[in-house]
Amino acid sequence: MKRILGIILGIGTLVLICYFAFLYYIPYSEGIRSGELIKLSHKGMAIKTWEGELSQGISGAQIFSFSVLDSDKKVIEDLNGLQGNYVKLTYVERYRTFAWWGETRYFVTSVQKEISPFNQK
Q: What is the pLDDT of residues 91-102, one digit of tens each?
A: 999 988 888 888
Q: How many Cα atoms occupy the beta-carbon half-sphere of 5 within 13 Å?
A: 2
CATH number for 87: 2.40.50.140
Contact 28, 94 (CB under 8 A): yes
What rounded mean pLDDT belongs to the chain? 89
> Which ranges constitute the DSSP H helices of the chain?
2-25, 73-81
For the chain, what percent of residues have pLDDT higher than 70? 95
Predicted local confidence at residue 52, as pLDDT = 94
In the predicted structure, residue 79 carries a pLDDT above the cut 90: yes
Q: Would residue 15 count as lying in a domain?
A: no
Q: Would residue 88 count as lying in a domain?
A: yes
Q: Would residue 106 count as lying in a domain?
A: yes
Tell me how far apart the alpha carbons of residues 54 and 60 are, in angstroms, rounded to a whole number.
9
Q: Would residue 18 count as lying in a domain?
A: no
Q: Would residue 4 count as lying in a domain?
A: no
- Number of domains observed in the structure of the chain: 1
Domain range for 48: 27-113
Predicted local confidence at residue 84, as pLDDT = 86
In the predicted structure, residue 66 carries a pLDDT above the cut 70: yes
Q: Would residue 120 count as lying in a domain?
A: no
Q: What is the pLDDT of residues 2-51, one digit of tens each?
A: 899 999 999 999 999 999 888 888 889 999 999 999 999 998 888 889 99
Tell me how far apart the alpha carbons of residues 110 and 89 are, in angstroms, rounded to a whole number.
6
Q: How many CB atoms lie within 10 A of CB 111?
A: 25
Amino acid letter for position 118: F
Q: Would residue 14 count as lying in a domain?
A: no
